[in-house]
Amino acid sequence: MPKAMQYTKGSIIYFEGDHDERVFIMQSGSVLLTSTDIESGQPVSEQVKSGEFFGVKSALGHFAREETATCLVPTVAVALTVQEFEILFSNNKPLIMKMLRVFSNQLRSIHKKTESILNKITEDQQTGMLAVAKSFYEDEQYRSACDVYLKFLKRYPNADCKNEVAKLYNDSKLRMEKLASHSRGNMFEMEDDGSNSSLRLFSLPAFERFAKNYEPGQVIISEYEPGDCFYLIQSGRVQLVKCVNGTKKNLDILKPGEFFGEMAILDNSPRSATCVAAGNVKCLEFNKENFELLITGNPQMALLLLKLFCKRIYDQKRRFRILVVKDLQARISDVFLMLDEMNPVSNEVERQRRFNVSVSDISHWAGLSIDVTRDEINKLVERRKIEVYDNYIIVNNINELRRLYETRCNTGSRKI
């Protein structure tokens, strides 16, 4: 049962860093949420109003608290378990849409901060789509380039550059066909095991009419194009890619049961990333018109989306924290610490870690050029902190790397 908690002025409901899986609703009084800005290191605060929720992201995502909650006056807040919150959330359609939009805006804000620190040049939608297509073309991923050029021509049939784009499309198509005649795709596939809850939810025959199939390298959605559909992966994997100043950055690999494309639906903004089929992929495609009806009519789906936002916000903040580390050795070390957090081991005594990543992957996460990254990694190799192989990197002692990170940060070389 939800429990009304009474707090005196100055009471701390929870501290930053606490593991506390309760969700709170402000009933009366006033609570101040204080945290530290990742980029500036300055304190930031937000006041909770009567009737508002707090502590949601960390509770649903099972993360440590990101802020401290302090009572400014005598306060009454109702504490709910995650299960109690889910029941309340599922039965309140206005709350469902409000929270999804709030979380979507938070994620969009972190994306913009990340783009700013990477010095990404802001482009209009047409210029942006053409830059995405060009980046695929220059990497000889002609199938993907074709798809983006074709999407551009369909979206902007009267663009001044349509004839030039049509030529680029035809050139990409010829190169794609020539390449295909010499080799077959080497993209990997991963079949669903049927255990994912979202897959079970949408396995009914009624949803089959929403199914779309994609071939290896096919672009499902392009960065910068308007967002009018979102997707659930039923089988295969989808690669998320972002174009930063003409260079492609791999963001993530999405697996069966995961959603993508929902953010542009919620905040009416252009796509923030390109999604490419990594192997043969089957997705359910839902359009913008039936999004709210689908979400509010399927509480389980709404909860899945809410939890997905919690995870993505947490992950994006973690990656953003790496980018503000000024000392390059510490920044590279923090990438490996993040990978360790993402891939926990059952035996905590084991200090050696193997990560199936390349120097290029480390370069992406660290926000550094490949040459700078290679130089910094070579320094770690010389100090016998890591070993680099073609398709993986071994950290010999993750605890030593953590100490290296903390030591270099404590010298004042990090801006936080």
Q: Which residue has the higher pLDDT, 220 or 187?
A: 220
Q: Which residues are 24's β-sheet partners?
A: 54, 79
Output the average pLDDT for the chain: 86
Q: Do 89 and 16 meet the contact criterion of CB atoms below 8 Å apart? A: no
Residue 114 has what pLDDT?
81
Residue 378 has what pLDDT?
95
Q: Which residue has the higher pLDDT, 117 or 21?
A: 21
- Span 219-240, mean pLDDT? 91
Residue 209 has what pLDDT?
84
Cα-to-chain-centroid distance, residue 47: 27
Residue type, 243: C
Residue type, 17: G
E strands, 12-168, in order: 12-14, 22-28, 31-36, 43-48, 53-54, 68-71, 75-81
Task: Give the model confidence (pLDDT) of 139-170 as tens digits.
Answer: 899 999 999 999 999 999 999 999 999 999 99
Whole-angstrom Cα distance, residue 387 to residue 379?
11
Pairing relation of β-strands 53-54 and 22-28?
A: antiparallel
Cα-to-chain-centroid distance, residue 18: 23
Q: Do 15 and 54 meet the contact criterion of CB atoms below 8 Å apart? A: no
Above 70 in pLDDT, residue 195? Answer: no
Task: Give the model confidence (pLDDT) of 377-412 as tens digits.
Answer: 999 999 999 999 988 999 999 999 999 999 988 775
Whole-angstrom Cα distance, residue 143 to residue 47?
50
The SS3 assignment for 327 reads: coil
Task: Give the model confidence (pLDDT) of 26-74 as tens digits.
Answer: 999 999 999 998 888 899 999 998 889 999 999 998 999 999 999 999 9
- Beta carbons within 8 Å of 170's beta carbon, 6+ residues apart: none
Task: Give the model confidence (pLDDT) of 301-326 as tens digits.
Answer: 888 888 888 988 998 899 899 998 99
Whole-angstrom Cα distance, residue 126 to residue 145?
15
| Alpha-helical regions (H) of 42-92 | 56-61, 82-90
Above 90 in pLDDT, residue 134? Answer: yes
User: CA of 314: how far to CAs of 43, 108, 268, 319, 397, in Å?
Assistant: 19, 13, 23, 9, 26
* pTM for the full predicted model: 0.78
User: CA of 112: how far to CAs of 108, 304, 320, 327, 406, in Å?
Assistant: 6, 24, 11, 23, 27
Task: Give the model confidence (pLDDT) of 350-380 as tens digits.
Answer: 789 999 988 988 988 888 888 999 999 999 9
Residue with tokens 């680099």: 388
- Of the chain, the percentage scoring pLDDT greater than 70 comes to 91
